[in-house]
Every structure is written in C-alpha cells, then in structure tokens.
Amino acid sequence: MTRAMPSASPATEPPALHMIGRVVLAVLLAGIAAGLVMGVIQHVRLTPLILEAEAFERAGDPASHSHGTTPEPGAVAESGGHDHDHGEGWMPENGWQRTLATTVTAAMTGAGFAAILAAISLLTGLQITRRNGILWGLCGFLAVTLAPAAGLPPELPGMAAADLLARQVWWVCTIAATAAGIYLIATQTRAFALVLAAVLILAPHVIGAPVAPHGENLVPAELVARFVANSIAANAVFWCIIGLLLGLGLDRTAKDIYAT
C-alpha cells in the first residue's frame, strides 16, 4: 500500500523560492526606479554645481593654465570635459557619459539600499507595506543622509576635507548609531529605551566629526550651500521612492513572508 504524500497548498504555503524571488524583484525595481529619478535630479540640479566647483578648483590650482583667475559664470557648462588626467584611469567625459555613469551608479546604490531595508525588515519582523513604505524610506534618509550630513555635509571639488579614513569611520558609526536609535524609538515604549535611543543618535555629534585642516576653500560659500541643500533634498526624494516602491512590491506577499 502506498501512502499519499501531503502536499502544501500554494495559497497558504508559497514556495520559499517564490517568496525570495518576489523580494529580490521588489528590491531591484525599487532601487532602479529610484536610481533613474536620482540620475535625472543629479543631471539637472547637482552636476552643474559640481562642474562649476571643478572650474574654481582648476582656477585655484597654481599648476592650472588659468593662473588663479576666477571663471566666468556659465563657462563650465560650455566646456567639453575636464582635463584632470592624474593617471587614475578612464573617467567619463562631461555630457552623456557622465550622466550615464552617475545614473547607473545611483541605480546600483538604490538597489543596495533597498536590499538593506528589506533585510532589516525580515530580520526584525517589521513589515514594509504600501502604508508605511515612505516612512521606511524617511528613516533610511535620516540615518544614511541627514545625520551624517550634520557633521560631514556633501562635499564639492576644491573644498578642504579631513582625513579620508577618519571621515569614513565617523560616517559609518553615525549611520549605525542613528539606525539603532530609530529602531528603539520604533519598537520600544519604555523610558530607558527612549533615552538610550536619544544617546545613540546624539553621541556621534557630541563626539564631533573629523575637522578639515585650516585652509581656504577654492569654492565660494554660496555655491557650497546650494550644493548641500540640493544634495540633501535629492537624497530625500531618492529614499522616499525606494521606501514607497519597496512597500508596494512587498505588500502583496507581506503575510506570507513574515509568517515564516
């Protein structure tokens, strides 16, 4: 006599591979879509400021042919590309190559951030849905962009900067501490946990970010302020799109994913 093998109902127990595929697809779509939007914003709002800063950097370089003359407004946009050949290999030229490179990089970065959000959601059991997707994106923006920018704002070429390793360590620690603080605020109601969350969020800024060596920036303060504001605003849009689309992609399978 043969015994019938019990079969799992696809309606209640979807295959693990199917769920993984849905998560990966949601991550890729959210990241790529956010990257495409970020690429457009970068091309329209950020790249012109970077090019202008590069012109000031060349003008302030003693080895530059301009001998320290200040570039005229709009002169950068008309140049065919930069001539920073320092033996660093191939670099995209200004124009379509630079736009394509920044867009592809933004899409890859967006997919990576979306994967991190999905992983955090799965590990903590906190669901990402269409109702709270933007909130997840805003939390990512606060931890990865806004908190580090309070100590290390986005930089333009020609700006004085602190030691690279020190900046990277402070940046990573600030993101980790801020993310941990946000998690405690989202999941805990006890006073001790909320106080600990505040300590974690404030600690990197009390310690302080690495300070750039004293020296005159080659870029005007007004240009720096515009770049910082536009960069932070662009990242806010970037993260909100990641959270929203990731929530929409995971919403249909949320019950199945978090039930396992």
Q: Answer yes or no: are the C-beta atoms of 258 and 155 closer than 8 Å.
A: no
Q: Given this model, what pLDDT does residue 71 score?
A: 38
Q: Given this model, what pLDDT does residue 26 score?
A: 93
pLDDT in tens, 46-59: 999 999 999 998 88
The tokens describing 44, both together, are 């329209």
CA distance linking residue 170 with residue 166, whole number of Å = 6
Q: Given this model, what pLDDT does residue 58 score?
A: 86
Q: Given this model, what pLDDT does residue 97 score?
A: 85
Q: How many other C-beta atoms can be found within 10 angstroms of the C-beta atom of residue 160? A: 14
Most confident of 48-52, 81-85, 158-162, 256-260: 48-52
Q: Answer yes or no: are the C-beta atoms of 204 and 152 closer than 8 Å.
A: no
CA distance linking residue 240 with residue 237, whole number of Å = 5
- The proportion of the chain whose per-residue pLDDT surpasses 70, expressed as a percent, equals 78
Quick one: average pLDDT of 84-91? Answer: 52
pLDDT in tens, 181-195: 999 999 999 999 999
Residue located via tokens 């042919």? 65
User: Smallest Cα–Cα separation from 22: which of 242, 259, 248, 260?
Assistant: 248
Q: Answer yes or no: are the C-beta atoms of 69 and 59 closer than 8 Å.
A: yes
Q: Given this model, what pLDDT does residue 93 score?
A: 76
Question: Mean pLDDT, the chain, as a whole number?
Answer: 83
- Residue 65 clears pLDDT 60, i.e. is over it: no
Q: How many other C-beta atoms can be found within 10 angstroms of the C-beta atom of residue 167? A: 18
pTM for this entry: 0.80
Q: How many CA atoms lie within 13 A of 65 on its CB side?
A: 2
Q: Given this model, what pLDDT does residue 61 score?
A: 61
Helices (H) and strands (E) in the chain, counts: 10, 0
162-to-55, 66, 138, 155 alpha-carbon distances in Å:
22, 27, 28, 11
pLDDT in tens, 23-45: 899 999 999 999 999 999 999 99
CA distance linking residue 33 with residue 20, whole number of Å = 20
The contacts of residue 114 (CB under 8 Å, 6+ apart) are 26, 27, 28, 30, 31, 34, 242, 245, 246
CA distance linking residue 245 with residue 20, whole number of Å = 17
- Residue 90 clears pLDDT 80, i.e. is over it: no
* Confidence band, pLDDT 50/70/90 cuts, at residue 196: very high
User: Smallest Cα–Cα separation from 248: which of 167, 147, 86, 137?
Assistant: 137
CA distance linking residue 174 with residue 205, whole number of Å = 8
Classify the C-alpha dihedral 253-255-258-260 as positive or negative: negative
- Residue 9 clears pLDDT 60, i.e. is over it: no
* Confidence band, pLDDT 50/70/90 cuts, at residue 99: confident
Q: Which residue has the higher pLDDT, 2 or 164?
A: 164
